[in-house]
Chains A and B, each alone.
Chain A
Amino acid sequence: MSQSLGLAGLGEPGLIAVFVSAILFAIGVIGVMIRRNAIIVFMCIELMLNAANIALVAFSRMHGVEGQIFVFFVMAVAAAEAAVGLAIIIAIFRHYEVVDLDRFRLLKW
């Protein structure tokens, strides 16, 4: 069966990891769609970044260590993004006293 997957060299755990990556990414997208709380939306974005990391590590097992290097940089960017994003949330909260995304419509028409 695994021959028809186009992922034959991945091995069973690698295959599971790619599937888990896709499912976690979908969960993150759904979270961004259905939640209004800015902090939880932000956490869903972290979940999506983590899902991408799982796929990179799974493929690094097959193609060499570069995937892990990319994961390292993804984590550095995610850390910077978390710090700046939370600072933005704090600044917005100071202004509006809520973190409800539907209330921030300055850039929406």
Chain B
Amino acid sequence: MMYDFLFQFFAATAILAGVIMVTRKNPVSAVIFLVVVFFATSGMFLMLDAHYIAAINLILYGGAIMVLFLFVIMLLNLGHTDSEDLRGPFGGLIGGAVAIGFLGLLARLLVGDAPAAASVVPAGEALRAATAEQGIIGVVARPLFGEYFMVLQVTGVLLLAAIVGTILLAQRKHA
């Protein structure tokens, strides 16, 4: 009961803050509401038995990346309201069409008879058993450093490329 209520609270907070974030004219308040979205999302991750993902979502997204966004907004002095920001009726029309399309898809999922999933593990049981056996970190770290080790290495190369690219892009040309 408490679990369901809390989960629905996090879900509603995420959607509400997302809507507010898209409609804010001031970039700084948009960043603040995006942080609220990430906090609510982390709550949902926590309740879906993804403890490690919840932690790095808070630290990496809610902390590091959002601070980076705020830093760029303040560095470029964009922290003021700009009424030119929202597109005219044409953009609104496309946005509304996309929203109606998505809501139609969701409604179809709710009322239509989609084929039932063939065979599924009871929700959360396998994951909870693995977490009890290997611990919160171990359940993610074991496949990461075993089966997906090559992917992890490639991700490291990608991050290195991103570092080099960022320095190259952001440096002054005549320096």
Enumerate chain A interface residues (CB-CB to B < 8 A).
Answer: 3-14, 16-17, 19-20, 22-31, 33-37, 39-40, 42-44, 46-47, 50, 53-54, 57-58, 60-66, 68-69, 71-73, 75-84, 86-91, 93-94, 99-100
Contact = CB atoms under 8 A, between A and B. Distances in A.
6 contacts: A4-B113, A37-B85, A61-B123, A73-B155, A87-B166, A91-B170
B126 interface: yes
A97 B155 CA distance: 34
A57 B43 CA distance: 12
Contact of B38 (A50, A72, A81, A88): A50
B14 A24 contact: yes
Question: Chain B contact residues: over half helix, strand or loop, or mixed?
Answer: helix
A37 B73 CA distance: 11
B27 to A, nearest CB: 6
Nearest to B123: A11
Contacts of A42: 69
Contacts of A7: 117
Top 10 nearest A-B pairs (CB, nearest first) are A9-B120, A11-B123, A6-B114, A80-B162, A26-B102, A30-B95, A87-B169, A31-B22, A33-B95, A87-B170
Given A9-B122, A79-B60, A71 B53 contact: yes
A33 B94 contact: yes
B175 interface: no
Nearest to A101: B87
Given A5-B114, A65-B139, A33 B91 contact: yes
Given A60-B127, A61-B50, A72-B144, 5 more contacts: A6-B116, A9-B123, A36-B85, A69-B148, A73-B151
Contacts of B172: 94
Given A33-B94, A71-B50, A26 B72 contact: no
A22 to B, nearest CB: 6
Contacts of A83: 68, 162-163, 166
B106 A19 contact: yes
Interface in B134-150: 139-140, 143-144, 148
Contact of A39 (B27, B117, B126, B162): B27
A27 B18 contact: yes
